Chains A and B, each alone.
Chain A
Amino acid sequence: MKRVIVAALAAVGIAVASMTQVQAEDFTPAVVFDMGGKFDKSFNEAAFNGAERFKADTGVQYRDFEVTNPSMREQALRNMARRGAQVVVAMGFAQAAAVETVAQEFPETKFTLIDMVVDLPNVQSVIFKEHEGSFLVGMAAAMASETGKVGFVGGMDIPLIRKFALGYVEGAQHVNPDIEIFQNMTGTTPAAWNDPTKGGELARSQFDRGADVVYAAAGGTGIGVYQAAKDAGKLAIGVDSNQNYIHPGTMLTSMIKRVDVAVYESFSAAQDGTWQGGIQVLGLAEDGVGWALDEHNRSLVSDEMEGAIEQARQDIIAGTIQVTDYMAQ
């Protein structure tokens, strides 16, 4: 008799265990990274960190794919949907067209598109107010600059990157109306997200002209910009992820875009069933963007700078400072 009970308990135990496993397996989120690659230390890596945190918190495995040429985007998204992913996060503005096509083919699958808007019921578009975050780091650049000249290196020349640039310019001019700002774009093709040699060269060309702080919004290309700044003893500003740790001492700050939070939220909302399509706009008020202050750049940021930037942050949230959105013009 005792044996039977033990056997029965064991059977129940196995059944319960397998059921929970089935549930866990049932939910498969997926993320499709864009051309910079998931270890670009920037935009895509932020998404990777968010997905990894979700995996650590819930034990749910996710699928991922790194797009290495433009024609792979649609295929990758379609594959994820076909293989039963309930929610697919597509990273980057460039995937908008692919998401639009695939989302119509798979109306049951949820798509979260970061950085661009697609108007479909099963697409959640998450966009950030990069201009607000860039405004703050623009202020930091202008206050840290001794020459009164600062630089900006963009990745591919697209409206989104112009949006970073314009916010940065307005922030710098907010501190010093006479400041001189050099702007360079790395290229006009997606290869511009992953060309550190060119990025470094552009940064050097700006240092030659007198800039002493440079802000890179260029994905993997930025690594070359930060290296050039370190080699020349100038300051650099990171983007998307907190990049202060890359070169402590010459990274003035980073414009953080909480892509990790967006990915995490999308996954967990899909799991809870609270996921909704539509547009989410994350700015300073939602903590969707911000500037990074940690032990790596503490010594570079004076109390005065910190105070001014925090004040501006409040003012932007309150609406007393208006930052122009390049894409809304």
Chain B
Amino acid sequence: MEAVTWIVLVVDATLRVSTPLILAAFAGMFAERSGVVDIGLEGKMLGAAFAAAAAAYVTGSAWVGLLAGIGTSVALAMVHAFACVTHRGDHVVSGMALNILVAGLGPVLSLAWFGQGGHTPLVADDARFRPIHFPFADRLSDVPFLAQIYSEIASGHNLIVYIALGMVPLAAWFIYKTRFGLRLRAVGEAPEAVDTAGISVAGMRYRAMIVCGILCGVAGTSLSIAQNALFVRDMTAGMGYLALAALIFGKWRPVPTLFACFLFAFADAVQARLQGVDVPGVGIIPVQAIQALPYLLTVLLLAGFVGKAIPPKASGVPYVKER
């Protein structure tokens, strides 16, 4: 019974922690599948987190916050696309530049607007995405197993968690079963073929970056006004890079990427619960060792099980029509 409860709670935490990771990883998938390398996921999330917190605080509405977050993130994505697609700049340089820009701009703007240093004021409860409780969840929580799954795992998350989980099959369907998806994949593998077919390569890549911006915007919003109630400096804490790792881990495919995100989040949830616990036969594991767990897991799996990860052929290569 104890063990079941433990597992249920860890799965619950995994879902919560993985949400921004899944959204960002899928944002990266759209970008990279179209041939745009995007290490600016971190910056877009951070920008969205700031905009969402600021807008939600000022207007008192979580939805306005979400829109502001998405808007900011899409705008940043467009800058990236302008530099990389239109002007054929280096993708890594542009992405990194945006990351650095946002890392500085967020705190500076919050200082200028709210006068509280590197963070926004606390956002009121009704201006946040609060946990949604399914009907009867409270009453069922004592009934073992199935009811526990319903009341603990399925119920009680904020809206964005459900949005992220719903987005996954939608994105997979989009990429593999629609005309847009086919062209998206083609433009990342063989842009000249797409061009020959009379479809604008730049147009496809811009559209992909808009989708990327929207998803990053939702991810950033979930950090600042769903999981927290304010924006603080560097609050993404490397999550954008972790999402990129999950994407590579998942070989740029939706389902493996989803599981890579779950794996990272699961390792994180487990390490929070293993700290200071007396593991039978081992004793108390030092904090440092436990906190290295997610990274250790990544290295082991990447080296041992995943095999070669091959990116879309044209990713990071600017498309030149004629030479």
Contact = CB atoms under 8 A, between A and B. Distances in A.
Contact of B16 (A37, A187, A201): A201
Give the interface residue-count category, chain B: 20 to 34
Given A188-B288, A246-B122, A220 B232 contact: yes
A138 B240 CA distance: 37
Contacts of A304: none
A196 interface: yes
Contacts of A205: 9, 13, 269, 272-273
A220 B118 CA distance: 11
A204 B13 contact: yes
A187 B291 contact: yes
Given A185-B275, A197-B237, A205-B273, A231 B131 contact: yes
A39 interface: yes
A37 B273 CA distance: 29
A50 interface: no
Contacts, number: 77
A195 B223 CA distance: 11
B229 interface: yes
Given A201-B17, A205-B269, A224-B228, A183 B276 contact: yes
A96 B35 CA distance: 48
Nearest to A40: B117
Interface string B124-167: 00000011000000000000000000000000000000000000
B237 A39 contact: no
Which of B17, B234, B237, B268 is the most central at the interface, judged by chain A CB atoms within 10 Å of its CB? Answer: B237
A143 interface: no
A208 interface: yes
A200 B268 CA distance: 13
Contacts of A198: 237
B297 interface: no
A157 interface: yes
Contacts of A68: 233
B237 to A, nearest CB: 5
A39 B13 contact: no
B116 interface: yes
A121 B135 CA distance: 68
A182 B288 contact: no
Contacts of A252: none
Contacts of B223: 197
A184 interface: yes
A188 B275 CA distance: 13
Contacts of B229: 227
A166 interface: no
Contacts of B17: 201
A270 interface: no
A37 B118 CA distance: 7
B119 interface: yes
Contact of B233 (A184, A194, A200, A246): A194
A191 interface: yes
A184 B275 contact: yes
A196 B232 contact: yes
Interface of A: 37-39, 68, 157, 182-185, 187-188, 191, 194-198, 200-202, 204-205, 208-209, 220, 223-224, 227, 231, 246
Interface of B: 9, 12-13, 16-17, 116-119, 122, 130-131, 223, 227-230, 232-235, 237, 268-269, 272-273, 275-276, 287-288, 291
12 contacts: A37-B118, A37-B233, A39-B118, A183-B276, A187-B291, A196-B230, A198-B237, A201-B13, A201-B227, A201-B268, A204-B13, A223-B228
